[in-house]
Amino acid sequence: MSRLSVPNLETDAGPSGKVYAQIKKAIGSVPNTFAAIAAHGPAALKSILAADTVLASGGLTNSDKEIVKLVISEAAGCDYCVAAHSHLGRLAGLTPEVLRQIREGLPTGDARRDVLVAFVDKLARTSGTISEEDFNAIKSAGYSDAQLVEISLAFATTTFTNIFNRINDTELDFPAVA
């Protein structure tokens, strides 16, 4: 059970209720993490959703975005976000085997994807300190300067949800990952 209370999503008429209604309209349900964030900081959730809107119109593919978010979540040890981004990664076309390989830091057989995984893992494990070699590798894999900004934005928003879910011990509402 999550640590923070969440009001009834159907009857909340306050600022959180408005955010819940928008999310429900957009994706059909309100994930537990969004419900808890909105219950105590609706403006914080709105900023995360706004960042996701920016990412949706950017140059990263859906699978690239889920790879970034999954690698960060795995490095942070956030079981909620690992489960969520494994599920969303499948919806973005990544196979269960590839998702397992990404979570375990193993080669996936796709050179460009493997460079992205290694780059994001390095960012996560070194607080963003990368070498010239790391930078050249991601650029040589075809990622543009604009996509590096998007990777940074995805990193920032995922770090927020990772930390929040660790504080809240958010109850899983996505399929658990073994």
pLDDT 10s digits, 11-30: 877 887 888 888 888 788 89
Residue 9 has pLDDT above 80, yes or no: no
Average pLDDT, integer, range 36-60: 94
Rounded-to-integer distance, Cα 135 and Cα 129, Å = 10
Average pLDDT, integer, range 126-151: 96
Residue 156 has pLDDT above 90, yes or no: yes
Highest mean pLDDT among 42-51, 120-129, 136-145: 136-145
Rounded-to-integer distance, Cα 116 and Cα 138, Å = 7
Token pair belonging to 20: 């819940």
Residue corresponding to tokens 């920032």: 156
Rounded-to-integer distance, Cα 35 and Cα 173, Å = 11
What percentage of the chain reaches a pLDDT higher than 70?
A: 100
Residue 75 has pLDDT above 80, yes or no: yes
Per CATH, domain 62-167 is 1.10.10.370: no
